[in-house]
Amino acid sequence: MYSFIALFFIFFVSFAVLFLLRKWAKKVGLVDKPNERKLHKGAVPLVGGIAISFTFLYFLFNNDHLLYEVNLYAISILTLVVVGALDDKYDLSFKLRFAIQALLSVSMMAMANLQLHALGNVFGYGSVDLGYLGYVVTVFAVIGAINAFNMVDGIDGLLGGLSMVTFGGLGFMLLYDGQYNLSYLCLVLIVIILPYILLNLGAFGRKRKVFMGDAGSMVIGFTVIWFLLVASQNGTKPPLRPVTALWLIAVPLLDMAAIMIRRMRRGCSPFKPDREHLHHIFQRLGLNSTQTLVAICSIAMLFAAFGIYGEIVNIPEYIMFYLFIGCFITYTLLLSYVWRITAKIRELRQATTTKTE
């Protein structure tokens, strides 16, 4: 059942679907064109996410016993693919996107009973059971996860890399707990994402380059939250404590929250695009795109590894939670002074270079 041959097959299926959809995207105009914020060359097909979604759904319908409520999940994914593709093509209002994401979270709770029932002992005063408040918290969690992965998609390979870190960490924890079906699905998703990363990074030439698109980022965010809810709210002793989920998606979550707070403090819309994400900061420090990709994915792996370590050795939930809040406060403060910090670092690097010469 858990065959490596099946993994090789699905890898090549993902490749084939990507190549077919590239040609279709160019015919219908589903491409990303350069502008003042997007500095790539030429019109790049926005089909990475669509290909990943179709390939994963193909695998699921041939192995429908592996995922809880697979039919509802498939309908939700197809809905997000359509909405994401329309957003890529026509730039839909964020209010409409949020409304659809909220409806999907409601259907998830109503039809699959997937919701946040409890947060665990995150404050140190006993387990926090959400009761009816869990419905509201779940809606915000779904919208937050979807848009965290959407907003982090800023340089080649980053969304795919961070997705692989999250699914890799979650898959390891599920394997450790003996939940082989969901763990195997995490591995399947990593294998399906790999062809996209190769084409996105230009491994087969710039002409064959593809982007994820909003369809992909929304599908990945929704899949992450679906898997996390199944893993963290499953029975009396779930394989994953809710606080550990924060560490598995730490980089997208921290970056989204800190950026939105910064925008609101300046009196701007929290959804107004800018160039102050984590990858922009690393590039201001002089790192190229590849170095930035490696640096951010390495940070994400460190966060995920710490979360997994805390889960395995049973570090108290409130300690894990307060440490995460500490990371968030630190990141937010650093972001507030990012211009001064980056300028100072550049001065130090120039001074060091001058002395060396």
Alpha carbons 132 and 135: distance in angstroms, whole number:
6
Instruction: Judge whether residue 355 has pLDDT over 70.
Output: no
Please count the other Cβ atoms lying within 10 Å of the Cβ belonging to residue 121.
Answer: 16
Least confident piece of the model among 150-154, 193-197, 241-245, 314-318? 150-154
Q: What is the pLDDT of residue 51?
A: 94
The pTM (predicted TM-score) of the whole model is 0.89
Please say whether the beta carbons of 169 and 310 come within 8 A: no
Instruction: Judge whether residue 53 has pLDDT over 70.
Output: yes
Total structural domains within the chain:
1
Over range 324-328, report the average pLDDT: 94
Q: Which of 84-88, 118-122, 256-260, 318-322 has the highest mean pLDDT?
A: 318-322
Q: Please name every residue paired with 129 in a beta bridge, in sequence order, or none if there are none.
A: 118
> Mean pLDDT in the chain?
85
Q: Which three-class secondary structure state does DSSP give residue 129? A: strand
Instruction: Judge whether residue 96 has pLDDT over 60.
Output: yes
Instruction: Judge whether residue 113 has pLDDT over 80.
Output: yes
Q: How confident is the model at residue 251 (pLDDT cuts 50, 70, 90)?
A: very high
Structural domain including 105 reads 4-235+242-356
Q: How confident is the model at residue 288 (pLDDT cuts 50, 70, 90)?
A: confident
Instruction: Judge whether residue 216 has pLDDT over 50.
Output: yes
Least confident piece of the model among 213-227, 277-291, 330-344? 330-344
Q: Which three-class secondary structure state does DSSP give residue 120? A: strand
Q: What is the pLDDT of residue 236?
A: 45
Q: How confident is the model at residue 121 (pLDDT cuts 50, 70, 90)?
A: confident
Instruction: Judge whether residue 263 has pLDDT over 90.
Output: no
Alpha carbons 282 and 292: distance in angstroms, whole number:
6
More confident residue, 22 or 347: 22
Q: Please report the beta strands in 46-133, taking only residues with DSSP state E, as ranges in sequence order.
A: 118-120, 128-129
Q: How confident is the model at residue 26 (pLDDT cuts 50, 70, 90)?
A: confident
Alpha carbons 240 and 231: distance in angstroms, whole number:
6
Over range 22-45, report the average pLDDT: 73
By CB atoms closer than 10 A (0-12, 13-18, 19+), residue 265 is exposed
Instruction: Judge whether residue 89 has pLDDT over 80.
Output: yes
- Residue count (the chain): 357
Please count the other Cβ atoms lying within 10 Å of the Cβ belonging to residue 334.
Answer: 12
Q: What is the pLDDT of residue 13?
A: 95
Least confident piece of the model among 10-19, 159-168, 201-210, 285-294? 201-210
Taking phi first (over 0 means left), then psi (-120 to 50 degrees means alpha), and beta for anything else, what does residue 124 get?
A: left
pLDDT by residue (tens digit) across 172-203? 988 888 888 889 999 999 999 999 999 998 87
